Chains A and B, each alone.
Chain A
């Protein structure tokens, strides 16, 4: 079914809202997981996000933001609220180390840790753009709508972020080589 119709139905049909949820739950969860780290905290935030979306979907108008951008604005704000309420700022890159006990670390968690460390070198805006793009799987126009920037500006942010990540990668590669030699 076309997404616009699904959203229109979701406003009055609970089952259709369930279908909409299925469409986005993975992307929302991954975004929050990378930002927060801990699975339990992630689940709490994700639940909160979906209840907020349910509460305000009546007010959503597709002539404004695309739905993905609307939803991810809620997502992004909810994660910010989470950190604001905790009143502690855990820098990206340290999230997993601080929140996940060693025995809970799986390959997937290690991937999150690796991603977080890489993102730690980016500016806030670059990091947000990268997360929306790759964890949220949003299109450039949707990211632009969430960040309130032009598509060109978002492309610029992502390009610089990818270059930065690649530079880091080069460094990592050199380290690996040196480790092999030694």
Chain B
């Protein structure tokens, strides 16, 4: 404070250091002088801290390069890109021959039921010209561990609602969830109409499968996608 007082008395000298107005230059110098009287660190502290810092710096230099935050973010970015890519891939049309039926006129019945021609299809036993996917195609084990082939689908015994769901799930090549089952009559025959949708993330695939209530023969209806 004494310094600032002196500077006030000797202010208005010439010069324009650091852009200060002339009458403040002396005050600026006085402030510098005043603060210079504040004590610095003790010699012991200064030396001790320096030694600790140098020792830490040596350890830091020797240590293997750790994964920095930026590297981590790069990894996260890569993972996100992969997830995106998978998402985009699943948006593309499915080229699985089992999934893309070749549609044909359904013959004289005028039924809405689609016909299919793949090696896994057989002609409908009633000779209606309606091709159906056979149980062989559904030989893969479904989620409940029950194979479609194990189901009792012999004529006359009838197919339960639950079995119809299992048969229908085996007809599609994606993890399917049964959304609803209803009994319908098509061309004088009774079917379970099983509505399926993709279970989990991905494209919302949706299919309806007709399962013959008597024989258990499945028929994939026109894809609802």
Contacts and interface: CB of A to CB of B under 8 A. Distances in A.
Interface of A: 12, 14-15, 17-18, 21-22, 25-26, 29-30, 33-34, 43, 46-47, 50-51, 54-55, 106-109, 111-112, 114-115, 118, 130, 133-135, 137, 139-140, 151, 155, 158-159, 162-163, 165-166, 169-170, 172-173
Contacts of A158: 20, 28
Interface residues of B, number: 33
A46 B1 contact: no
A118 B1 contact: yes
A113 B58 CA distance: 39
Given A43-B41, A159-B21, A51 B56 contact: yes
Given A54-B56, A166-B4, A173-B5, A29 B37 contact: no
A18 B31 contact: no
Interface in B18-52: 18-21, 24, 27-28, 31-32, 34-35, 37-41, 45-46, 49-50, 52
7 contacts: A21-B49, A33-B39, A46-B49, A47-B49, A107-B37, A114-B1, A165-B31
Given A30-B40, A163-B24, A130 B49 contact: no
A54 B53 contact: yes
A169 B41 contact: no
A155 B19 contact: yes
Given A134-B31, A166-B8, A26 B1 contact: no
Main secondary structure of the interface of B (DSSP, over half): helix
B20 to A, nearest CB: 6
A100 B50 CA distance: 26
B38 A34 contact: yes
Contacts of A33: 38-39
B46 to A, nearest CB: 6
Contact of B27 (A109, A111, A162, A172): A162
Contacts of B56: 51, 54
Given A115-B34, A134-B31, A162 B24 contact: yes
Nearest to B46: A25
Contacts of B8: 166, 169-170, 173
A20 to B, nearest CB: 10
B61 interface: yes
A172 B49 contact: no
A165 B39 contact: no
Contacts of B35: 30, 34, 115, 134-135
Per CB-CB distance, the 3 closest pairs between chain A and chain B, nearest first, are A14-B57, A108-B39, A134-B35
B48 to A, nearest CB: 9
Contacts of A15: 54
A181 B19 CA distance: 39
Contact of B45 (A43, A51, A170): A43
B47 to A, nearest CB: 10
Given A12-B61, A46-B49, A134 B34 contact: yes
